[in-house]
């Protein structure tokens, strides 16, 4: 974890983002080898605490690579995993439109990266058979950060 002296806050480095992406890709490849699934058609994104894209990758034949970025963005700006955000929306009777942000999404697969109690970024994965599968792979990426 790097500390930006100008703001004196922890931040994800590019090296950390790329390491997390590498680990997510390895998890996706291992998932394919352990099941009878087709090659994973997933994509993954790492964002900073403001939802700005740090790293992105798309597996071969992933035709609609949009949700991973939005999942990571939502986790970062809402300071929570997208599964928890979806539950919060459901229990409060609110809709996505009430946030006025077209990037916000309420689908599992976005996981916040927390360091010393503060959100420093998020990882989003999209394209697997369910959002819960996406979330499990994103959590593995967060674990690889060692934060």
- Domains of the chain as residue ranges with CATH: 2-145 (3.30.450.150)
CA 123, chain centre distance (Å): 2
- Work out the percent of the chain whose per-residue pLDDT is above 70: 89
Cut 0.85: pTM above it: yes
Q: Where residue 69 falls among pLDDT bands split at 50, 70, 90?
A: very high
User: Is the pLDDT higher at 29 or at 33?
Assistant: 29
User: Is the pLDDT higher at 96 or at 121?
Assistant: 121
Give 66's DSSP letter.
Answer: T
């Amino acid at each position: 974890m790097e500390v930006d002296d100008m703001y004196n806050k922890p931040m994800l480095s590019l090296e950390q983002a790329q390491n997390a992406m590498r680990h997510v890709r390895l998890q996706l490849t291992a998932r394919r080898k352990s099941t009878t699934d087709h090659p994973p058609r997933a994509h993954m994104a790492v964002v900073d605490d403001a939802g700005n894209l740090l790293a992105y990758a798309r597996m071969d034949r992933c035709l609609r690579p949009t949700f991973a970025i939005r999942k990571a963005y939502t986790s970062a700006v809402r300071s929570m995993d997208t599964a928890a955000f979806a539950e919060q929306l459901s229990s409060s009777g609110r809709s996505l439109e009430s946030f006025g942000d077209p990037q916000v999404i309420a689908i599992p697969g976005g996981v916040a990266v927390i360091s010393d109690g503060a959100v420093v970024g998020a990882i989003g994965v999209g394209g697997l058979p369910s959002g819960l599968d996406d979330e499990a792979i994103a959590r593995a990426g967060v674990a690889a950060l060692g934060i």
